[in-house]
Amino acid sequence: MAKRTAKQTLTAKCDRVFSTLVRLSKADAHGDVCCYTCGTVRHYKQMHAGHYMSRRNKSIRWHHDNARPQCPGCNQYGKVNGPGESVIFGRKLSEEGVDVDELERLGRSVRVWTEDELEVLLHDLESMLADLERKREQQHANR
């Protein structure tokens, strides 16, 4: 097996931090989160970060409007997969005020991330996650 490049390693790190950020940002005080498409409730560590438009679309891979918590059944195993899931996902995003047409337009644009850009993105995502974790700890301490 070939050794990962620095860019591949940074991409994987960004994916991991972004996924945690997406799931934890929607979790309640106990860490439970609701699947965006089917409503299943589980601890955020047992959920996935599901994407409206595939992660293959590098331009919006880490766009916050493109990802929501999903259970493994919906995200990976196709419980509500295919066109039906996309319609549900898009409708719910629209109801939240997300401009789905603009998101789809961005998703069709080509983006090649440089190693330096990925390092900056990783730093930004880690900072956002640290802020979220600090906020959750303060809320927990105030109870």
**Residue of 63, 139, 45, 143 lying closest to 107 (CA atoms):** 63
Evaluate if residue 108 carries a pLDDT over 60: yes
pLDDT of 96 > 60? The answer is yes
Q: What is the mean pLDDT of residues 106-119?
A: 96
On the question of pLDDT at 80 being above 70, the answer is no
Per-residue confidence (pLDDT) for residue 86, from 0 to 100: 78
| pLDDT of 85 above 90 | no
The closest of 13, 32, 11, 14 to 23, measured between CA atoms, is 32
Using CA atoms, how far apart are residues 143 and 136, in angstroms rounded to an integer? 11
**Mean pLDDT, residues 87-96 taken together:** 90
Does residue 105 surpass a pLDDT of 80? yes
- Give Cβ neighbours of residue 133 (< 8 Å, ≥ 6 apart): 24
Confidence of residue 87 (pLDDT cuts 50, 70, 90): confident
Q: Indicate if the pLDDT at residue 84 is higher than 80.
A: no
φ/ψ of 119, rounded to 5, equals: -65, -45
Question: pLDDT (tens digit, 9 = 90+) per residue, 52-71?
Answer: 999 999 999 999 999 999 99
Instruction: Report if pTM > 0.95.
Output: no
Does the structure show a pLDDT above 90 at 134? yes
